[in-house]
């Protein structure tokens, strides 16, 4: 589903990504961990071209999205993204937040977009919130709406950038539960998170980044029990 080869990202004279090679198979859940500033968000953002890699290629289902001829709106519709900061439209109701993309970008008919949005709200446990504005929701509820909104575009891949980092502790699990369900349904997912419990239970693979590089990757059990690199060990000791 995703193949990244020799990807670099430089801002002016700062190298943020220094040669990333990375693959994700269909239905796989990959958790990306690493210290702050290691390039996790930048890498994720390059996967749907919110950022443009300075060098290298990013293939999504065989399409090179770094090719200027690639329709980037099409790519963004296939690759959903959920951010730490929800980014809901405050002046639209929950339902309108979810139907906006499908109607405006996917040109879906309004009624079917509404039906789908209602199903998604049920899935994330928020059917009773369809007509309220985001301002009246808790952080956990907002994030679940953000997930529903991303899913409404019928993406083939979901990217999550620290989806629970801005939440009060009691709301973390309700969001992780929605993500677990999604993973169980076979969604291809790349998740940047510090939730090691989630990584252990849900990840097929864990990738540890540091200094703009992938230092180590492997199955979660192996990375947590017996990390090979000292930097991985040091990081895991801090977050455990």
Helix%, strand%, coil% for the chain, nearest 5: 40, 25, 35
Q: What is the closest distance, in whole angstroms, from the C-beta atom of residue 142 to ligand ADP in the complex?
A: 21
Task: Report the Cα–Cα distance between both ends of the chain, in Å, rounded.
Answer: 31
Which tokens in the block code for residue 231?
């930097």
Question: Does residue 40 interact with ligand ADP by CB under 6 A?
Answer: yes
**Of 34-42, 55-63, 180-188, 227-235, which part binds ligand ADP (CB under 6 A)?**
34-42
> Which of 13, 36, 107, 237 is the binder for ligand ADP (CB under 6 A)?
36
**Rounded-to-integer distance, Cα 39 and Cα 161, Å:** 11
CA atoms of 166 and 174, how far apart (whole Å): 14
Q: Which is nearer to Mg ion, 70 or 84 (CB)?
A: 84
Q: Which of 27, 37, 186, 197 binds ligand ADP (CB under 6 A)?
A: 37
Please state whether beta strands 55-60 and 157-161 pair in parallel, antiparallel, or not at all (unpaired): unpaired
Q: How far is the CB of 43 from ligand ADP (least distance, A)?
A: 7
41 touches Mg ion by CB under 5 A: yes
Q: Least distance (Å) from ligand ADP to the CB of residue 14?
A: 5
Both tokens assigned to 117:
């949005």
**What residues form DSSP beta bridges with 81?**
159
- Does 11 engage in binding with ligand ADP (CB under 6 A)? yes
Nearer to ligand ADP, 40 or 144 (CB): 40
CA distance 146 to 142: 6
Q: Is 16 in the site for ligand ADP (CB under 6 A)?
A: yes
| Interacting residue with ligand ADP among 14, 69, 185, 237 (CB under 6 A) | 14
- Residue 5, burial from CB neighbour count under 10 angstroms (0-12, 13-18, 19+): middle
Positions that interact with ligand ADP (CB under 6 A): 11, 14, 16, 34, 36-42
């Amino acid at each position: 589903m995703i193949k990244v080869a020799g990807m670099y990202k430089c801002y002016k004279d700062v190298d943020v990504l220094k040669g990333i090679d990375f693959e994700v198979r269909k239905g796989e859940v990959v958790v990306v961990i690493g210290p702050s500033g290691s390039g996790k968000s930048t890498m994720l953002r390059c996967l749907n071209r919110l950022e443009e890699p300075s060098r290298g290629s990013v293939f999504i289902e065989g399409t090179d999205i770094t090719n200027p001829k690639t329709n980037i709106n099409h790519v963004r519709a296939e690759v959903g993204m959920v951010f730490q900061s929800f980014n809901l439209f405050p002046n639209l109701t929950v339902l309108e937040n979810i139907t906006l993309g499908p109607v405006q970008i996917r040109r879906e008919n309004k009624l079917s977009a509404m039906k789908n949005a209602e199903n998604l709200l049920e899935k994330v446990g928020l059917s009773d919130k369809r007509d309220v504005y985001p301002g009246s929701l808790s952080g956990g509820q907002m994030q679940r709406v953000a997930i529903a909104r991303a899913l409404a575009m019928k993406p083939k891949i979901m990217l999550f950038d620290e989806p629970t980092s801005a939440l009060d502790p009691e709301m973390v699990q309700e969001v992780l539960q929605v993500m677990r369900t999604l993973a169980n349904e076979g969604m291809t997912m790349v998740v940047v998170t510090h939730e090691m419990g989630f990584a252990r239970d849900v990840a097929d693979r864990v990738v540890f980044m540091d200094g703009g590089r992938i230092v180590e990757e492997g199955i979660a059990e192996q990375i947590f029990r017996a990390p090979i690199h000292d930097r991985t060990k040091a990081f895991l000791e801090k977050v455990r």
